[in-house]
Amino acid sequence: MILIKIINTLHLLKRLSKYIKKLNTKKKTTIKDIANVLNISTAAVSKALHDDSRISKKTKKAVKQVAKNLNYQPNHLASALRKGKSNLVGVIVPRTNSNFFSSVIENIEEVLNKKGYNIIITQSNESYKKECSNIDTLLFTQVDGIIASMANETIDLEYYEKIKAKGIPLILFDRGENDLNVDYIGINDYESSHVIVEHLVSQGRKRIAHIGGYKHTRIFNNRIRGYVDALKKHGLPLDNELLLESSLTTADGRAKMAELLKLKNRPDAVYIAGDYAALGALQLLNELHIKVPEDIALVGFGNEPFTAMVTPTITSINQHSAEIGKQAALTFLEHAKKEVINQSLNKIILDAELIVRDSSNLKV
């Protein structure tokens, strides 16, 4: 009995060594190699590796042992081709070097990796053209789903419709579009504006300006609407001079602030729909020795880390990037579970949080 075991082991060793030699020639190990070593079919190997009930424990153990020895790594392409899914999820963001997006991505990855998915990250750099090419790339790579935040430039939705037409789950976050009728995760922009205006009013401000994003982008439109309605609510008049549309870059924030300073009747507070633009505005104010918040109070949006680094620190809105990432990933997983993909407008709206800092806080 023991002798047989030893002989068997020796036999196995011999076969193994032959294959290990092959390994060194750099050809990757396949289930066929494992099958050959053990003199069983590739089907048995495949089943053993997936713990199929129709394979004996002994065989499973042997298969796994040999797989380890031969340093076997499953060929993802082959199984993906056969199963019709790639276990890859595409992510499109305007850019990765903003803290908001990189945090969203990190959390998407964390949730999806646990479920065996990998993500492919692409950047649109706020360009519609680049975004289209990203979509093509992702579809070409046979991703199982796409999680995206739209570029500033994007107005035409044709390319996104293409994703839907392919029957691939599409989930939008932050920068979305109602018209696409797909899942969306974001914060309550309309409400955020209210919170900001309320805060400024409580600080005694009477002439509150708003440097907003492009009106055609929903989130920025909501922030503008919120601003307008909040003014009304607090009995403040709406002055069109005080409502500007911007690309929200640092440079444009500076430029739009300069415009506001040219007015005969300057604002005493400025709410800017993006932190980078708020930074530009602050830099100009600092250079001109206009006191913040005493002369003009400043509020940004996004809670980028630098808002806590500059002087004075900038009041901003925390967008709950981690939660947005998680929810986006979970929403995708919901779709992935279902056989039929039934896309519909299903919004998850998170409450935003105002982080009050020096740029708007008069320490009385």
In the complex, which residues of this chain contact DNA (CB under 7 A)? 28, 30-32, 39-44, 46-47, 49-50, 54-56, 58-59, 72, 74-75, 78-79, 81-84
Give, to the nearest 10 degrees, the angle between helix 42-49 and helix 31-38. 110
> Does the footprint of its own copies cover residue 88 (CB under 8 A)?
yes
Looking only at the bridges linking them, the beta strands covering 353-355 and 316-318 are antiparallel
Q: Smallest distance, Å, CB 102 to its own copies? A: 3
Alpha helices in the chain (DSSP H): 2-24, 31-38, 42-49, 57-69, 76-83, 99-114, 128-140, 158-165, 189-202, 218-233, 250-262, 275-287, 321-337
> Does the footprint of its own copies cover residue 355 (CB under 8 A)?
no
Q: Smallest distance, Å, CB 86 to its own copies? A: 6
> Does the footprint of its own copies cover residue 252 (CB under 8 A)?
no
> Does the footprint of its own copies cover residue 98 (CB under 8 A)?
yes
Nearest to its own copies of 89, 242 (CB atom):
89
Q: Which of the stretches 9-17, 53-61, 133-141, 218-226 binds its own copies when contact is defined by CB under 8 A? A: 133-141
Looking only at the bridges linking them, the beta strands covering 170-173 and 145-148 are parallel
Among 12, 16, 40, 80, binds its own copies (CB under 8 A): 80
40 binds, among DNA, its own copies, none (CB under 5 to 8 A by kind): DNA
Nearest to DNA of 83, 264 (CB atom):
83
103 binds, among DNA, its own copies, none (CB under 5 to 8 A by kind): its own copies
Looking only at the bridges linking them, the beta strands covering 297-299 and 243-245 are unpaired
CA distance 251 to 232: 30
Looking only at the bridges linking them, the beta strands covering 170-173 and 208-212 are unpaired
- How many residues belong to the chain? 364
Nearest Cα residue to 120 out of 151, 150, 141, 94: 141
Q: Smallest distance, Å, CB 159 to DNA? A: 21
The answer to whether residues 316 and 303 touch, using CB atoms and an 8 Å cutoff, is yes
> Does the footprint of its own copies cover residue 263 (CB under 8 A)?
no
86 binds, among its own copies, DNA, none (CB under 5 to 8 A by kind): its own copies
Q: Smallest distance, Å, CB 60 to DNA? A: 8
Among 6, 10, 13, 77, binds its own copies (CB under 8 A): 77
- How many CB atoms lie under 10 A from the CB of residue 102? 16
Among 306, 318, 323, 336, binds its own copies (CB under 8 A): 306
> Does the footprint of its own copies cover residue 113 (CB under 8 A)?
yes
Nearest to its own copies of 65, 103 (CB atom):
103
Task: State in Å, rounded, how far the first CA of the chain is from the last one.
Answer: 90
CA distance 100 to 152: 16
Pattern of binders to its own copies over 280-299, x per CB under 8 A?
---x--x-------------
Pattern of binders to its own copies over 310-329, x per CB under 8 A?
xx------------------
Structure tokens at 144: 């199982």
Residue pointed to by tokens 């896309």 = 343
> Does the footprint of its own copies cover residue 159 (CB under 8 A)?
no
> Does the footprint of its own copies cover residue 37 (CB under 8 A)?
no
Q: Which of the stretches 149-157, 178-186, 235-243, 308-316 binds its own copies when contact is defined by CB under 8 A? A: 308-316
Give, to the nearest 10 degrees, the angle between helix 57-69 and helix 42-49. 90
Nearest Cα residue to 117 out of 148, 157, 91, 144: 144
CA distance 262 to 209: 13
3-state secondary structure of 101: helix
> Does the footprint of its own copies cover residue 42 (CB under 8 A)?
no
> What residues line the site for its own copies (CB under 8 A)?
26, 28, 73-78, 80-81, 86, 88, 95-99, 102-103, 105-106, 109, 113, 118-123, 125, 133, 137, 139-142, 166-167, 279, 283, 286, 305-306, 309-311
